[in-house]
A and B are shown apart, each in its own frame.
Chain A
Amino acid sequence: MSEILSDLPVTDLLPPGRHGRADGAPGVIAHPLSRLAVATLVACKGAVPRITEAALAAFGVALADAPKVSFTADIAFIGTGPGRWLVTASQAPEALMARLTDAFGDGAALTDQSDANLMLDLYGPAVGETLAKLVPVDLDPSVFRPGDAAATLVALMPLTFWQLNDSPAYRFAIPRSFAPAFLRALASAAASAGLEMAGPARG
């Protein structure tokens, strides 16, 4: 397997390219997303019904107050706690904040988190066996399905992830300062299957 982790400074991000098992197709593909605006939406006390109505009116989203992804084509709300969501959209952070402020006004606390996380998509034939080594949540299709989300710990690092589809693919929001350590843990967990680290990682 690759000896990259022996030489890579612990503060550096895992470089793009193939890591771990080098022959055959990669078992896991990791794809960093660099143009995703992210914000937290926290309902004020007693304001969840008002926020839910506003989400439906402004975005056409049936907002679930649960660890689920509520989404339309251009915006997604990921439940991270009662009355709390992570919001993602493929647009400029300022534009997302303006849309959210217009929709929710003073009923919620809104914070731009676009620079706070490494957003990483994980997929590939071995993504399940790899995440079994990292995520303390049961990802069996009978329990965790597309649209399910979880805020949890990976190797003691707090993060949020959700399932995008049943191929399966998962999207991870990793606090930026933990990105180098998370990618090292991922490289180790995926070494036996081969990891393809795509694109330039921002973190």
Chain B
Amino acid sequence: MRLPCPYCGVRDAHEFSYLGDAAPRRPDPAAPDAADAFHDYVYLRDNPAGAIRELWYHGAGCRRWIVVDRDTRTHAIAGATFASGSASGDAS
């Protein structure tokens, strides 16, 4: 499988480290239901058969986190963007 890094171009998946689903957002630790929210954030993941947005780290190339749109059934890659949203120079 090859991933289209927004900076480096198409590269072999071995250059990347996989993190997982890009959807979970860190809950507000000050919220009254923080314990339940953190349980879901840490442990619960969807397991879709189809399109998923997931985080990969290009450790062997530009050393940036990217979000890849991948179909879990076919490994078809629809695209990739920088995870930070900003293209340049902003450490994240």
Q: In terms of DSSP, what is the predominant structure of the interface of chain B?
A: loop
CB within 8 Å for A152 and B89 given contacts A67-B9, A80-B62, A158-B60: no
Q: In the assembly, what is the distance between CA of A150 and CA of B62, in Å?
A: 9
Q: Does residue B88 face the partner (Cβ distance < 8 Å to A)?
A: yes
Task: Name the distance in Å between B62's Cβ and chain A's nearest Cβ.
Answer: 4
User: What residue of chain A has the Cβ atom nearest to residue B8's Cβ?
Assistant: A67
Contact, CB under 8 Å: A151 / B62: yes
- Give 23 A-B contacts (CB < 8 Å), ordered by A residue: A43-B89, A44-B89, A45-B89, A45-B91, A46-B89, A46-B90, A48-B88, A65-B89, A66-B7, A67-B9, A80-B62, A81-B61, A81-B64, A82-B62, A82-B82, A82-B90, A84-B62, A136-B12, A138-B10, A151-B60, A151-B62, A153-B14, A153-B60
Task: Write the residues of chain A forming the contact surface with B, with a CB cutoff of 8 angstroms.
Answer: 43-48, 51, 65-67, 80-84, 136-138, 150-153, 158
Instruction: Other than A81-B61, A82-B90, give 4 A-B pairs with Cβ distance below 8 A.
Output: A48-B89, A82-B87, A152-B8, A153-B60
